[in-house]
Amino acid sequence: MPQKKMIHDLVEMKARGEKITFLTAYDYPTARFAEQAGLDMLLVGDSLGMCVYGYAGTVPVTMDQCICHSEAVRRGAPNTFVVGDMPFLSYQVSSQAAVENAGRFLKEAGMDAIKLEGGARVVSRIKAIVDAGIVVMGHIGLTPQSSGQLGGHKAQGRTAESAGAVVRDALAVQGAGAQMILLEAVPPEVGSYIAGLLSIPVLSIGAGIGCDGQLLIVSDVVGQFQTFVPKFVKRYADVAGVVTAALQEYVADVKSGTFPAEEHCYRMLEGEEAKFRAEFK
């Protein structure tokens, strides 16, 4: 069993050019698979709103849902660096609420760090959480919680002006004390420029090969989420196909009377059936 990575291990991986592997997980079994597969880091993302609860987006997700799923992931992956994701309105209202909610991820769910969305405009929240002794991952570029303001789930940084804004956000987040950054849906030119500019690890989800590591949503990776497939996704399995085929076979077996078979039954103990029948004719 490899040793659990800490934040300084991740910073050292960046320094020596070793790519960091990062995946979302929302439940105990997936966390176990991910730890067995050797992931460096896991994110209990608020994408659980879509991937687990079937919401249209992440906005309805609550702190209690995030804590509950973070606890399950921690139980499944006790030796992996796990990041809890701060849901919409858990940090926007005040720095005090931000610190209290960030603290819940550590106290109640054993998370190693928290992630929150936003660049320059959330600097005061990042500082407050860092001052409380909590490792923070910033999340910039496409920020799904504020996708309404961005005009939808659109890639950012595709013009020089927009790319400049993403770079300024990255510098602001690092300057506020965040120890990692997640960069979502920006061109690879912008991703590699920011990864080279910052001293902290820059993780990519749709930000190209030049970043220090890659994140994907587990439900996309295994082919479980069917509503839409973002451009940055690479699918490695067809869980939806495998599970649907298994369930179709189960339905057919029950309908045709081939399930349950003899090997699935608990037989009565020797001599007990005769006694049973004598009493219940």
Q: Using CB under 6 A as the criterion, which residues of the chain lie in contact with ligand KIV when the complex forms?
A: 24, 43, 45-47, 85, 139, 144, 182, 184, 205, 217
Kindly state the smallest distance separating residue 167's Cβ from ligand KIV, in Å. 19
What is the Cα–Cα distance from 221 to 45, expressed in whole angstroms? 15
Cβ closer to ligand KIV: 65 or 245? 65
**Cβ 180 to ligand KIV, closest distance in Å?**
12
Quote the least distance from Cβ 112 to ligand KIV, whole Å: 16
**Shortest spacing between CB 247 and ligand KIV, in angstroms:** 27
Give Cα separations from 145 to 94, 115, 133, 167, 230 (angstroms): 17, 12, 25, 20, 16
Q: Least distance in Å: CB of 119 to ligand KIV?
A: 15
The rounded distance, in Å, linking the Cα atoms of 155 and 173 is 19
Q: Phi and psi of 252, rounded to 5°?
A: -65, -40
Amino acid, single-letter form, for residue 148: G
Which tokens in the block code for residue 138? 């910033």
Q: How big is the chain, counted in residues?
A: 281
Residue with smaller CB distance to ligand KIV, 11 or 233: 233
Which residue's CB is nearer to ligand KIV, number 210 or number 230?
A: 230
Peptide bond into 260 cis (omega under 30): yes
Please, what's the b/e burial string for 230-265 (b: 16 or more CB within 10 A of its CB; e: otherwise)? Answer: bebbeeeeebeeeeeeeeeeeeeeeeeeeeeeeeee
Positions marked catalytic: 184
DSSP E strands in the chain: the ranges are 20-24, 41-44, 81-85, 113-117, 136-141, 180-184, 202-205, 213-216
Q: Which is nearer to ligand KIV, 71 or 184 (CB)?
A: 184
Contact 137, 81 (CB under 8 A): no
